[in-house]
Structure 1
Amino acid sequence: MSKVIQAALASFGMSGMVFHGPSLKVNPNFNLHSILERTKSLSEKDYPESTIIRSFEELIAQDEVDLVIINTPDNLHYSMCKQALEAGKHVVVEKPFTQEVEQANELIKLAKDKNRILSVYQNRRWDNDFLTVKKILKEGIVGRLAEFESHFDRYRNFIQEGTWKEEGDKRHGVLFNLGSHMIDQVVQLFGKPKSITAHLDTLRDGGQVKDYYDIRLQYNDFAAILKSSYLIREPGPRYSLYGTLGTFHKWGIDPQEEMLKNGHLPNEPNWGTDSEEDWGVLNTEWNGLNYKGTIETVPGNYNAFYENIYDTIVNGAELAVKPEESRDIIQLLDYCLQSDEEKRTVFL
C-alpha cells in the first residue's frame, strides 16, 4: 500500500478554503489530518473528518502529521516555517516565501539539516494561460521574442476593510502579493534578467500600501514588462508576445480560482480548460504561410503542485518549486523596491 501523507493547514482563510483544501481533498495520496482555526470551526462543513486545532504549537506537536502548510499572513511565514521544520515536518509555504532573503536562506539550510522538503506554493506556474504562453515560446511560433508583456489587473476602487493586505510596510501590497507570482513566471520562462526598472504607486484614495506597479525586466535582446493595478475596470490582454514573425494576445484569466471559489473540486471533467471564446489570438508566419486565428488554451492544473510534493517526499523526485528559486524571487522584489525608491535602473 502506498503511503498517505498526513497534512495540516495552518489556517483556514481564503487560501485554505480555495486552494490547498480542495487539492488535498481530491488527492488520494493525502489526508487533511488537521486544520488550525483559533476561534471558529468553519472547516467542519467541508472537512468533517479533519481535527480542528486551536494553536500552532499544538498543530506541529502532532506526531502523525507529516506535512504542514503555512498559509498565514506574510509576516508569519518565516517564524512558522522555522517552528514546523524544527518539529521535523515537511513544509509548504504560501508565496511570498519570506519577507527577507536572509530569512529564506536560514530556512533552506534548516530544511537541509533536518532532511525535510520545503517548497513554496507558486501555483500560477500551472495557470492555463501561462502554460499556453510557455508552449508558444518553446515552439518559436512568434519568432525571436522582441517584447513580453504580462498584466495582473483588478478593479477594486475601495480599501477592503479587515484584511492585513491593505496595511503594513513596503513589503505588503500588490508587489509582494501578485508580483511574486508574475516575476516567478518570467524567471521560469527566461531566467534572471540583466536589469530591473520599477515604478510603484498607491492609486486608490486612502490607500496605505502600493496598489500599482510597472516593472521592466531587461534581457539581452528583449524586455519583459509586468504591470498590475487595482484600478483597471476594463482589462486589456493578460499576456502579449511580440516577435519577429508574429504577435500573440491572451485575454482573461485562468478559471481555476473562480471555479474553486464557487465550490467546484479540481477533479471535475475538463478542469482548467477555457471555452473557445477565451482562446488567445495569434497572428504569425509559419513555414512561409500567414496564419491569423485563435489558439486553444493548454489546460491548467493546480493539482500538479501537490502531486509533485507527494512524489518528492515518497519517491525522491525532483522538487518542482525549489525554495532557492522562491528566495531569488524575494531578491528580485527587493531590487524592484530599490529601483522605485532610488528612481533608477538596478543592474544585477
Structure 2
Amino acid sequence: MNNKDLAINVALIGYGYVGQYFHGPLLSATEGLRLKTVVSSQVDKVKADFPDVVVVSSAEEAIKDRDIDLVVLATPNETHAPLAELALKAGKNVVVDKPFTLTLDQARHLQQVAEENQVILSVFHNRRWDSDYLGIKAVIESGKLGRIVHFESHIDKFQPRVIDRWRDKNLPGSGLWFDIGPHIADQALQLFGLPESIQANIANLRDNAEIDDWAHVVLNYSKLKVILNCSMLSAGGVSRFTVHGTEGSAVKSEADKQEDQLIAGIKPGTPEWGIDSDDVILFDENLTSSPQATPKGDQLQYYFAIRDTLLGLRQNPVTPLQAIAVMAVIEAAYSSAKSGRVVELTLTSAEKEKWL
C-alpha cells in the first residue's frame, strides 16, 4: 500500500460480463476503494459506466502502474493463473474471479507466490453473501432441522441453444462445471467442511454442445449426502436449496436477486439492494410448514472485507487455502466423471488441517 490514509487504487483487468456487472459496480460502491484503471479494448463501453477511469489495452500496463494497490482479474479462466502470477510478482495484491485457476497445482503455486511476495491473494467467491445461501445457512445453524442428512444445491438455467461465446466452446476452463461448480462447491465446503469422497456425472446434453452443460456431483460425508447440480436445460420446477434433517426439512425455492439487480442497473448498497421476498419454508416433524424470512444478500461485503484486509483490520475473506479446497472439488468431480469411480480429494494433510 502506498498510504493507508488514501484510497486503495484498483485496476480491473477485463470488462466483459463479470467485470461490467459484478466487479465494476461492487468496487465503485465500496468506500475506500478507487477504481483507477480498467483494462479493456472497449473504451466507450467502460467510459459510459466510469467516465473518470483510465482505460488501457494491456494487463501488463496496468500491473506496472506504481499507483495500483489491488489488481482484480475478471478475465477468461485460462488467463487467471498467468496474470495473477504476473501481478503478485509485481508486488500487487490480487483478487481472482472464480474459478481460481484451471488446476490444483496452479492454485498451490499462486499461494506460494503470494506468500513469497508478502501480498494478499483472494478469490471472488461472492456467493457466500447471497440471500438464498444466507437464509438456508441460518436455518441449518439454528438446529431446527436436527442433524443434516441431505443437502441439495441447484443453480440451473434454461438456455437450450448454444451461444457463440468462449464459455460454450471446447477451451481450457470452459464449461458449466467450471462456471457454476466453484460457487456451489464453496458454499457446501463453508457449511460442512471437506467431504470424504466425491462421485460425479458431467455431460454435454444440448444439441451441438462442445463442452459440459450439465453436472451432478455428490459429496460424501459420514451420514450426510451433499448434492451439487447445475444444468442449462432446466426451465423450472427445481428449488435452489433443499435440506433434510433428523427433525425436519427446509426448502428455498428462488435464487438470490443481486445478479438480476446489477444487470438492471440497481446500485449496490441502495435500499432495495439484496432484498429477497421468497421465504425459506420449514417443515417440522409433524409435517407442518412455516415460513422463515430470508435475510438480505449483500455481495458488497466481500469488497468491504478486502478493503479492511488491505488496511490490516481483518482477515482475508476468502483465503488461497479455501480456494485450493474448492479447486480440489472441481478436479475430483472431473476425475470421477471421467473414470466412473468414487474419488477422494487430492489435498495434502496440511491443507486438510488448515484450509478453514
TM-score bracket, shorter-length normalisation:
over 0.9
| Partner residue in 2 for 1:146 | 149
Q: CA deviation at 1:290?
A: 7.4
Q: Match for 2:221 among 219, 222, 228?
A: 219
Native 8 Å contact 1:153 1:235 kept in 2: no
**Using the alignment, how far apart are the partners of 1:120 and 1:171 within structure 2?**
16
Matches within 5 A, 1:51-130: 51-130=54-133
**Using the alignment, how far apart are the partners of 2:82 and 2:112 within structure 1?**
14
**Using the alignment, how far apart are the partners of 1:347 and 1:63 within structure 2?**
44
**Using the alignment, how far apart are the partners of 2:329 and 2:87 within structure 1?**
26
Q: Percent identity?
A: 34
One-letter code aligned to 2:284: T
* CA offset digits 1:42-80 (Å, max 9, x no partner): 110121110111111111111111001011000000000
One-letter code aligned to 1:250: K
Q: Match for 2:184 among 182, 185, 188?
A: 182
SS in 1 for 2:182: helix
**Using the alignment, how far apart are the partners of 1:115 and 1:310 within structure 2?**
16
Q: Does 1:30 align with 2:33?
A: yes
**Using the alignment, how far apart are the partners of 1:208 and 1:125 within structure 2?**
30
**Using the alignment, how far apart are the partners of 1:232 and 1:74 within structure 2?**
25
Native 8 Å contact 1:68 1:84 kept in 2: yes
TM-score by length of 1: 0.95
SS in 2 for 1:68: strand
**Using the alignment, how far apart are the partners of 1:82 and 1:179 within structure 2?**
23
Alignment gaps of 5+ in structure 2: 346-356
Q: CA deviation at 1:171?
A: 4.0
| Partner residue in 2 for 1:261 | 263
| Partner residue in 1 for 2:303 | 306
Native 8 Å contact 2:252 2:279 kept in 1: yes
Q: CA deviation at 1:170?
A: 6.8
Native 8 Å contact 2:261 2:273 kept in 1: no
Alignment gaps of 5+ in structure 1: none
* CA offset digits 1:251-293 (Å, max 9, x no partner): 1110000000011101110421112xx21211115xxx87522
Native 8 Å contact 2:37 2:53 kept in 1: yes
Q: Does 1:201 align with 2:203?
A: yes
**Using the alignment, how far apart are the partners of 1:150 and 1:66 within structure 2?**
36
Q: CA deviation at 1:250?
A: 0.7
**Using the alignment, how far apart are the partners of 1:303 and 1:115 within structure 2?**
25
Q: CA deviation at 1:141?
A: 1.2
TM-score by length of 2: 0.93
Matches within 5 A, 1:208-247: 208-247=210-249
Q: CA deviation at 1:345?
A: 1.1
Native 8 Å contact 1:24 1:30 kept in 2: yes
Aligned length: 342
Structure 1 vs Structure 2 CA RMSD:
1.4
Q: CA deviation at 1:38?
A: 2.4
Q: CA deviation at 1:39?
A: 4.7
Native 8 Å contact 2:276 2:297 kept in 1: no
Q: Does 1:315 align with 2:312?
A: yes
SS in 1 for 2:156: coil
**Using the alignment, how far apart are the partners of 2:330 and 2:49 within structure 1?**
36
Native 8 Å contact 2:102 2:172 kept in 1: no
Which has the larger displacement, 233-242 or 196-205? 233-242
| Partner residue in 1 for 2:328 | 331
* CA offset digits 1:211-236 (Å, max 9, x no partner): 00111111111100111111001131
Q: CA deviation at 1:240?
A: 0.4
* CA offset digits 1:145-197 (Å, max 9, x no partner): 12111101000000101x11011247420111101111111000000101100
One-letter code aligned to 2:305: N
* CA offset digits 1:83-103 (Å, max 9, x no partner): 111111110000010001111
| Partner residue in 1 for 2:169 | 167
One-letter code aligned to 2:269: N
Native 8 Å contact 2:78 2:173 kept in 1: no
Native 8 Å contact 2:151 2:244 kept in 1: yes
